Amino acid sequence: MLMQNKLLNVISSLMPLAIIAGLLYAAFFIKPTVTSKAVAPPLFER
């Protein structure tokens, strides 16, 4: 029981750091790209 509590404590302490590290990775290494097509205007306007 003591080993499970210690393991749970370590995991719960490291989770915020893992989340922050993932967000920093996404911010610095993933560049957004936009690929959109032009919208065709309607044939008849009202």
pLDDT in tens, 12-42: 999 999 999 999 999 999 998 888 888 888 8
Confidence of residue 46 (pLDDT cuts 50, 70, 90): low
Q: In whole angstroms, what is the distance from residue 5 CA to residue 36 CA? A: 51
Predicted pLDDT of residue 39: 85
Please identify which residue in the block is written with the tokens 């915020």: 16
Q: Give this prediction's pTM.
A: 0.60
User: CA 13 to CA 11: how far, in whole Å?
Assistant: 5
Band of pLDDT at residue 43, cut at 50, 70 and 90: confident
Q: Which two tokens stand for residue 11?
A: 């995991």
